[in-house]
Amino acid sequence: MTIHTPPAIPSQLQSNAAAGGGFFRLLKQREYGVLALLALTLIVVGLINPAFVAGGNLKDILVAAAPAIIVGCGLTFVVLMGEIDISMGALMGVLATVMGQLTSPSHAHLPVGEGILITLALGSLVGLINGLLVAYGRMPSIIVTLGMMTVLQGVNLILINGQWITDMPAGLRWFGTGRFLAVPISIWTTILVVAASIILARETPLGHRIYASGSNPEAARLTGLPVRPIKLFVFTLTGLLTAVATVVSVPLLAVIEPGVGKGFELLAVTCVVVGGTSISGGQGNIIGTVLAALLLSVVRPTLVFLKLGPSASYWERAIQGAFILAAVLLDQVARARSRRGKAGA
């Protein structure tokens, strides 16, 4: 067994050489591909219309991307575990309604702080229930969260009862429009969530175990890892982050109505998958999700700048859907290739 490698060659170089051609390395490390596409879009549209890359517009793009990035961070961990959550859109709708009704002067009129705390707790609770059903009820997560989505949609309609909330108090509005050092609160929040998620994923034992459990659940069990509590954690985290995203994005809306959060789950799932996290678990990272969220967020302004007019939002959906199909296809190609590579080794 002559597997002694000459120590002179740095290991990083070796692994790059082993990964094969550049294109296939891109398949494996999707974040570079996404970054390249994002940069390309910004440069091309920026050349056509310099206003596109002006500070104000970029800031708007970031603010628009914030909810997808924040929730995408939590969802990345869920997908790394080999699970899925599609209840975030409906949850955001309910949380928006609850937050609005708790704080609005024409409803409960609680202090804004209390309203937000209750919103965060409620988001976590829904995530916890998802997690309990998946980890301990041993139900497939797609079914659990589909059911949860439907329940939440119904609950939202009951809560709103036809009365849109139009009088969000100024304290609540501040979470959408407020600034700290000239940077919107939602961007600060996003930076914090992303930083914490990266640390969780890369620098903590828990993150380490999330990757391991998703990579090979049976091996994780045989290693004595607490797989079910870890599952519970990732679903609860996603619920909590959905609440965080609600707090920093909904106050920007003019009114809270039953359509809030509609289709948001598709956007979040697309970000995670396009960002290179494998739908079968064990592989992926936060950066990929963040870059994919940014890429998806420049789609609409790009279409607007290209003067597609009112059909821009139809095109946006079509492009979003095409992205997710392309990403899953790339995932399959990369996996088939690595299987062949293994068989040939």
Partner 1 sequence: MNNSFLQVTNLTKSYGGVHALSGVSLDIKAGEIHSLMGENGAGKSTFIKCLAGAVRPDAGGVAVDGSTISPGDIRAAEAAGIVAMHQESTAFAHLNAVDNIFVGREMKRGPGLLDRRGMERETLALLDRLGESIDIKRPLQELSLAQRQMVGMARALSHSSRLLIMDEPTASLSARETKSLFRVMRQLQGEGVAILYISHRLEEVFELSDRVTVLRDGRHVETRPIGDVTRDELIRLMVGRELLAESRAAGSAGEGAVMLDVHGLTQPGVFHNISFNVRAGEVVGLAGLVGAGRSEVAASIFGVDKPESGTVTVGGKPLPPGSVKTAIESGIALVPEDRQHQGLVLPLTVGSNLLLSVLGSPSLGPLRSARKEGGIVGDLMKDLTVKAASSNIAANTLSGGNQQKLAIGKWLAMSPRVLILDEPTRGVDVGAKAEVYRVIRRLAAEGMATLIISSDLPEILTLSDRILVMREGALAGELSRAEADEEKILALALPREGASV
Q: With binding defined as CB under 8 A, does residue 203 bind partner 1?
A: yes
The token pair at 327 is 């990403």
The distance of closest approach from Cβ of residue 343 to partner 1 in the complex, given in angstroms and rounded to an integer, is 9
Q: With binding defined as CB under 8 A, does residue 282 bind partner 1?
A: yes
The distance of closest approach from Cβ of residue 219 to partner 1 in the complex, given in angstroms and rounded to an integer, is 4
Give the footprint of partner 1 on residues 295-334 (CB under 8 A): none
Q: With binding defined as CB under 8 A, does residue 55 bind partner 1?
A: no
The distance of closest approach from Cβ of residue 222 to partner 1 in the complex, given in angstroms and rounded to an integer, is 5
Classify burial at 304, counting beta carbons within 10 Å of its beta carbon; exposed 0-12, middle 13-18, buried 19 or more: middle
Nearer to partner 1, 100 or 207 (CB): 207
Give the footprint of partner 1 on residues 209-268 (CB under 8 A): 209, 211-212, 215-216, 218-225
The distance of closest approach from Cβ of residue 225 to partner 1 in the complex, given in angstroms and rounded to an integer, is 5
Neighbouring-strand partners of residue 165: 256
The distance of closest approach from Cβ of residue 202 to partner 1 in the complex, given in angstroms and rounded to an integer, is 8
Cβ contacts of residue 273 below 8 Å, gap of 6+? 79, 279, 292, 324, 327, 328, 331
Q: How many CA atoms lie within 13 A of 35 on its CB side?
A: 8
Residue 290 contacts residue 71 (beta carbons within 8 Å): no
DSSP 111-133: -HHHHHHHHHHHHHHHHHHHHHH
Tell me, by CB under 8 A, how many residues bind partner 1: 36
The token pair at 253 is 């809306």
User: Which parts of this chain interact with partner 1 (CB under 8 A)?
Assistant: 1, 3-5, 7, 11-12, 14-15, 18-19, 199, 202-205, 208-209, 211-212, 215-216, 218-225, 282-283, 338, 341-342, 345
